[in-house]
Amino acid sequence: MSDLPAGLPREQLLRYILALADDELMLGHRNSEWTGHSPILEEDIAFSNIAQDELGHSLVWYTLYEQLTGKSPDSMAFERGWQDFSCCRFVTYPRGDFAYTVVRQYLFDEAEYVRLSSFGRSSFPAFKDIAGKLLREEAYHLMHLKGLVTRLGDATDESHRRMQAALDAAFPQSLGIFEKLEGEDALMAAGVFPGNEVSQREWLQRVVPVLASASLKPPVNTQNGTSSINCTPDLGGRQGKHTEHLNHLVDDLQLVYRIAPGAKW
């Protein structure tokens, strides 16, 4: 096992790493549900690739957790009960229609970009190293999802209606990404990351103009270039307060592993 640099809060950092890993695992699994079911072949391939990337990112975070604790990625992904995951609720909701999937992935990718960019200034060297690698893949995700959002947002009356309905549902949910973590103040004080409140402000600065360019209206008030939230955030996931959707998702995710526990894949 690896040791942490002096001065970093161990337990708080481990909880944060798990939250990062759990988010990626669940969203990757949800996106994989589009394989063979997307509306066009190109998006079938695209979302299968994005799902693979997200699952790969979860492995990166679980591997870091293993280096610090000795607990394997398989044990963290396949041997925990659904109540023990610390993902935000946003990534656990059913895939919905394709508009919802597009909006969810776009909002998540923008949050991921902000988060990884902040890790480039982290006092934890492992975060810096990981951010440099993952940001390259996130750039491709964002390029693809921005294109979809802007094209579908005002292409036709029906596409606009579907995209606006998806945004109405997904935007309050997406705020759960920035739910304050237990021990977050200690991580901020140690310079691990700037905190979720700062990240959310930067995220708003990125997503609001893109959505506006697609004729989509998020529940925010914007004055003098500053946006404020005008909806109730969907919180609870970071504290393990999940919905039954995660229960069913974890059942699907762990089904094969339960047949042969401890098997090497």
Residue 250 has pLDDT above 60, yes or no: yes
How confident is the model at residue 265, as a pLDDT?
53
Which residues contact residue 57 at a Cβ distance below 8 angstroms, ignoring those fewer than 6 apart? 24, 28, 134, 137
Looking at per-residue pLDDT, the higher value among 138 and 262 belongs to 138
The neighbour count for residue 132, using CB atoms within 10 Å, is 12
Q: How much is the average pLDDT of 153-181?
A: 97
Tokens representing 261 are: 């526990």
Residue 240 has pLDDT above 70, yes or no: yes
In the chain, the percentage of residues whose pLDDT exceeds 90 is 82
Residue 188 has pLDDT above 90, yes or no: yes
Q: Which residues pair with 222 in a beta bridge?
A: 227
Which domains can be identified in the chain, with CATH numbers?
A: 10-259 (1.20.1260.10)
Nearest-angstrom CA–CA distance, 179 and 196: 7
CA distances from 151 to 21, 210, 215, 257 (A): 31, 11, 10, 40
On average, the pLDDT of the chain sits at: 93
Tokens representing 234 are: 């969907």
For the chain, the C-alpha Rg in angstroms (whole number) is 18
170 and 105 Cβ atoms separated by less than 8 Å:
no
Nearest-angstrom CA–CA distance, 41 and 260: 34
How confident is the model at residue 264, as a pLDDT?
64
Query: Does the pTM of the predicted model rise above 0.85?
Result: yes
Q: How much is the average pLDDT of 99-127?
A: 96
Tokens representing 123 are: 């006092």
pLDDT band at 22 (very low <50, low <70, confident <90, very high): very high
